Amino acid sequence: MKTVKVGLLGIGNVGSGTYKALEMNSAAIEKSAGVHLEIVRILNRRPEAKRAVDVPKEKYTADPYEIINDPEIQIIVEVMGGVEPATTYMADALKTGKHVVTANKAALAVNGKMLQQLAMDHHVMLRFEASVGGGIPIINAVADPLVSNQYDEVLGILNGTTNYILTKMTENGADYAEVLKDAQAKGLAEADPTADVEGHDVANKLSILISLLFGKQVLPQDIPTQGITSVSGLDINYATEFGYRIKLIAHARKENGRLICSVEPTLLPLSHPMAAVSNEFNAVFVRGNAVDELMFYGKGAGPLPTGSAVLGDVIDIANCIAKGAAFDVQPLLHYDSDLEVIGEGMAQYYLRLTAVDQPGVLGNIASTFAKHDIGLKSVMQRAGINDKKTSVPLIFIIYETEYKTLMSALDEIREKNFAKSIDAVMRVQER
Ligand SMILES: NC(=O)c1ccc[n+]([C@@H]2O[C@H](COP(=O)([O-])OP(=O)(O)OC[C@H]3O[C@@H](n4cnc5c(N)ncnc54)[C@H](OP(=O)(O)O)[C@@H]3O)[C@@H](O)[C@H]2O)c1
């Protein structure tokens, strides 16, 4: 049986999970794929540190180029994270004719185009199933069994930490800060949770999905992104009363030559399949013009689920090597669409305002919306909320409106002091 040698750059969560998944399943992999995989060298800058797997010390090196330039190694697995030096190491590995498998969404979102070109130029494969949705096979599914489709829309719950926090806030009525602490204690949130809770991690993944599904490069920093730190228990309760769940949704939709995209807390009707995706689970929902609606669901993170996706890519490549088959160097990501990227676009919205509790205030706000041609779908007014009951929360769901139009109407409401504050503006995704 042919042996294919693999080098691992990084031995953190995903590196250990990949190593362990191979240890667990190597016999089954040999039987089904007909190839013996061996992780022969591992980049470890702290060889004395305790790792989640027992690795013979001689496999470790602190020098990445001992792996990248090793002529015996045919596949490099990059699981270090961060844009640099990971991008440089991957580029150098591709240039030396090695295949690369990566889980690194940050590097791919920014440098995917350049890395793909290098892979094509050097006739080697660049694969990245684990970069979006961890263990969920979305990338290769779109490229292979779903290749006959064109896509109109994608929705993703792509971050386990934020989905866990929103789920617990919904179930227990707990505060954001309290649930974040609990998530950190359970290892479901990083000590510094910024990249997760501010939505940056999801923006990287959406950027990759946009290139994959719509053939357009939209850099993460160009995707309007809002995290979950401002989602309050009040909004979760009002949303529930209206029949919705709040989820951090990565959304992109093609519409009349425009590409609408955002990462933001979004209200989904309870009947929507994505509304039931709870705790640390992830899901990706796509609409293809042939396959229609599809939802992928599973563990979007964690050493073994992510290691499973990494290994899947490694096995695909090793299979080609073992069979002497031609390498599939067709790019998975595309960047040549002429769609105009416009950010938020047209949507229904949930709004929560605090107004002065006096006669006519609701009428003033409603007529401002009417002036901007904004239709009200639902309105809820609650009893006064401060000691003297001088402030009153008003909750609206408005019909489809351009985001810019909504902002103009809210500016006018602010300028005319019809509302003391505009406390929440969230997209509503009906289907
Ligand atoms: N965690 C998940 O569930 C998950 C899911 C999907 C995708 N991903 C992606 O997978 C990648 C790895 O994530 P992870 O959670 O495994 O991260 P991690 O636990 O922080 O592991 C990263 C590993 O790379 C090493 N490393 C980082 N920078 C290095 C450098 N400059 N030189 C040498 N070694 C370096 C770290 O070394 P030290 O241990 O010495 O710091 C560590 O061993 C990231 O791109 C992440 O976005 C992760």
Cα(8) to ligand 1 centroid in Å equals 11
CA nearest to 138, candidates 88, 205, 185: 205
Residue 385 has pLDDT above 90, yes or no: no
Instruction: Give the whole-angstrom CA distance, residue 27 versus residue 23.
Output: 9
Report if residue 130 sits inside a domain.
yes
Q: Which residues are catalytic?
A: 205
Are 165 and 118 found together in one domain?
no
Residue of 79, 110, 201, 304 best suited for mutating to test ligand 1, as the one with most atoms within 8 Å of CB = 79
**Confidence at residue 378, expressed as pLDDT on a 0 to 100 scale:** 94
Report if residue 337 sits inside a domain.
no
Are 408 and 383 found together in one domain?
yes
Can you give the residue range of the structural domain that contains 257?
A: 149-298
Report if residue 274 sits inside a domain.
yes
85 lines ligand 1 (CB under 6 A): yes
79 lines ligand 1 (CB under 6 A): yes
Cα(168) to ligand 1 centroid in Å equals 27
Report if residue 332 sits inside a domain.
no
Are 51 and 108 found together in one domain?
yes
Q: Which atom of ligand 1 is nearest to the CA of 201?
A: 47
Cα(15) to ligand 1 centroid in Å equals 7
User: Residue 313 is part of a domain; what is its CATH number?
Assistant: 3.40.50.720
Residue 386 has pLDDT above 80, yes or no: no
Condensed to tens digits (0 to 9), the pLDDT of residues 112-146 reads: 999 999 999 999 999 999 999 999 999 999 988 88
Report if residue 112 sits inside a domain.
yes
Q: Which atom of ligand 1 is nearest to the CA of 51?
A: 39
Q: Which atom of ligand 1 is nearest to the CA of 204?
A: 47
Are 178 and 110 found together in one domain?
no
Instruction: Give the whole-angstrom CA distance, residue 250 versus residue 268.
Output: 12
Q: What is the DSSP string of 184-226?
A: HHTTSS-SS-HHHHTSHHHHHHHHHHHHHHH-----GGGS-B-
Are 9 and 128 found together in one domain?
yes
Report if residue 318 sits inside a domain.
yes
Are 277 and 359 found together in one domain?
no
Are 309 and 273 found together in one domain?
no
Q: How far apart are the first and last CA of the chain?
A: 50
Q: What total of structural domains would you count in the chain?
A: 3
Residue 60 has pLDDT above 70, yes or no: yes
Are 61 and 187 found together in one domain?
no
CA nearest to 355, candidates 366, 342, 346: 366
Collect all residues with Cβ–Cβ distance below 8 Å to 178 and sequence separation of at least 6. none
pTM: 0.96
Are 8 and 64 found together in one domain?
yes
**Sign of torsion, CA 179 184 189 190?**
positive
Condensed to tens digits (0 to 9), the pLDDT of residues 249-286 reads: 999 999 999 999 999 999 999 999 999 999 999 999 99
Strand partners, 251: 155, 262
Report if residue 141 sits inside a domain.
no
The number of residues in the chain equals: 431
Are 315 and 282 found together in one domain?
no
Cα(13) to ligand 1 centroid in Å equals 7
Report if residue 142 sits inside a domain.
no
Are 109 and 192 found together in one domain?
no
**Confidence at residue 86, expressed as pLDDT on a 0 to 100 scale:** 98
Predicted confidence band of residue 403 (pLDDT cuts 50, 70, 90): very high
Are 124 and 160 found together in one domain?
no
116 lines ligand 1 (CB under 6 A): no
Condensed to tens digits (0 to 9), the pLDDT of residues 343-369 reads: 888 999 999 999 987 888 899 999 999
Cα(100) to ligand 1 centroid in Å equals 16
**Sign of torsion, CA 347 352 354 360?**
positive
Q: Are 178 and 229 in contact (CB under 8 A)?
A: no
Cα(101) to ligand 1 centroid in Å equals 14
Condensed to tens digits (0 to 9), the pLDDT of residues 203-262 reads: 999 999 999 999 999 999 999 999 999 999 999 999 999 999 999 999 999 999 999 999
Instruction: Give the whole-angstrom CA distance, residue 211 versus residue 111.
Output: 12
User: Residue 372 is part of a domain; what is its CATH number?
Assistant: 3.30.70.260
Predicted confidence band of residue 160 (pLDDT cuts 50, 70, 90): very high
Residue whose CA lies nearest to ligand 1 atom number 27: 80
Residue of 8, 20, 80 best suited for mutating to test ligand 1, as the one with most atoms within 8 Å of CB = 80
**Token code pair at residue 43:** 């980049």
User: Residue 293 is part of a domain; what is its CATH number?
Assistant: 3.30.360.10
Residue of 306, 308, 310, 311 best suited for mutating to test ligand 1, as the one with most atoms within 8 Å of CB = 306
16 lines ligand 1 (CB under 6 A): no
Q: What is the mean pLDDT of residues 93-99?
A: 98
